[in-house]
Structure 1
């Protein structure tokens, strides 16, 4: 008998139905949460590092967390949207290998799901602004947590169920690259899980190899074979993702964030941050503060 369990859970941040104009034009948006759009009228664009995706009526779109993109509307765009956080028991995102924008044809059930989310979660818009740099700040994240904690168990469970249904629409073979963990050695899976949950600790190749009871060179080759990246690069990318999350959702200093994400000092943190994102931590923070964070 095949046994499969879903390690990820999703919690609601915002849901709304909005009509947008040419002011919906934002560059270099990167968020620690997921977005799903259903377009019911008008047109727009999402641009990521590899492609320009046209937003058109009758389709669903997902932007995974930590996906850098531009949001553009030239004239008019009407959309349902939902924003939500992903949590995982092993720290590994369901979209670990799918950090790009995906598009699928919407169904009648998708539309009903959005309408039901709005019905059972009133007042969960983004405070009258469609600018991510306005609504992405710590006070809003705290408010979302308080609202979820006050939900009845029935509403909380139904909301999670609808989010699972919407996410599932993008898990088709055509759109989604699924990493079959059954073919990944247990020692590599354990190393990935250990990395995700211990970003603040010493994660040298020597330490990871010793945990796996493997020679460091062999461990590194095996990790590359099954993840596509060397351990050091993989660890750096995960640390910077975590740093971006902390920069958006907390008031921590760069020094505190560097410590929390396992960098030996703030200078090395800044160097790796710019190397991976193409922008310094200071400029990234300025972008987030641009509209009075």
Structure 2
């Protein structure tokens, strides 16, 4: 849609109310036993299993892809009577590793997501950013995670942010685009909310909290601010936009809290991978430990549950 600055200027965020809402979530939304195991298995289908390290190698990416296709040991699934195919929502890598991941995931339904546009800081020339997107799509990436220029938010230059995001949207073609806001660098909840709305107006399929490289990444407070904007955008336009928290989500109990908040605020549809993803590298290992505890009654060592 066209940029509507009147909508942006009307956005307000009440930090105290946000903090009160999220502080009470764990006490009101607790699942145990069979239900907890089921929610954890569901969370696996919403993971973007990620490796974004300077020492990534093709073998590491292949191993990550193998884990994405078989995230929980077969004996644990058999013991639970779980017979449906189970895999992560995507595998997320740098552009250089896209061909390796695409080849490793042949024969599966798992898409490859590529981080782009000068990730993580987004300070490359615009022509370079757009070319990086096009090359990742040409290499087989079905999803592109872009980073916005934070200065546009900090200086309230919403026209520039909209134009930037729209160019990224056009460069992606048929690939899905996730807009990374880098919430830890946007200073206020109001800035986070306004940036979310501008990116959705410009065509983002998902809005995402963080690169995972900032001091502050995903938490329930900034999540609430962003998903309230998703709800407002749906009310305005009828379009459903996805949400991806990323950075620092490493415990199974955290995954349950995010799922509960999504269901409370947006409804059951936002528990499916087409509208909800976790950006994670270590969460899967803890979830597999929790599943083993559910099946056997004992916790195992973390090194028995490698994730790639």
Instruction: Return the TM-score normalized by structure 2.
Output: 0.25
Higher strand share: 1
Instruction: Return the TM-score normalized by structure 1.
Output: 0.25
Higher helix share: 2
Structure with larger Rg = 1
